Amino acid sequence: SSSALDDDTTVKKEAPLVALAAAEDDDDDEEEATPQKKLYAKVVGIVRRNWRQRYCGSLVDDRFFVPVDRRLPKIRIPSRPPYVADDDRVAVALDEWPADSRLPRGHYVGRLGKAGDVAVETAMLLEEHDVATAEFTPQVLACLPPKGDYDFAGKVAAASA
């Protein structure tokens, strides 16, 4: 019977990636290295980016946002809002970061206030670290003891005295 492959033809199969691990032995015996399979994977897609919703910082050069967090690059924004001054703290949302661009793209979200103001800098830090600053709901407030059953001011004054 004739075969599709001649006797001289060899079929190459992909060998699994193999790493050799040397066996450690205190007896100084010459042992052969045992092959171990090396695991590998291929990224086929990104379901969701792990970006924060908003970043705080300042606008410079009318088209760039400089985040307070120095680990982040500048963010390109389409245009500068006319009512934002150079010394204002603003919030920007990150929209995309194209593979062929050195800088991500985002859009202006809101003005926090003047840089250096204690209330503005505090709000910026809370926003940067995703601390919830919303008012408590009526359901949460209903769980508190009735007003007058507790006096935190007296306890704080007694503790600091």
161 residues of the chain, pLDDT tens digit each: 444 444 444 444 444 444 444 444 455 555 566 678 888 888 887 776 666 778 999 988 878 999 988 888 999 998 878 888 888 899 998 888 888 989 999 999 888 899 899 999 998 888 888 888 888 888 988 888 777 666 665 554 444 44
Predicted local distance difference test score (pLDDT) of residue 153? 59
Contact 57, 67 (CB under 8 A): yes
Separation CA 28–CA 144 (nearest Å) = 71
pLDDT of 9: 45
Residue 69: left if φ>0, alpha if ψ -120 to 50, beta else—which one? beta
Question: Which residues share a beta bridge with 35?
Answer: 20
CB of 58 closer than 8 Å to CB of 126: no
Q: Return the sign of the alpha-carbon dihedral for residues 136, 137, 139, 141.
A: positive
Distances (CA, A) of 62 to 79, 82, 86, 135: 6, 10, 9, 34
Q: Tell me, what's the pLDDT at 103?
A: 92
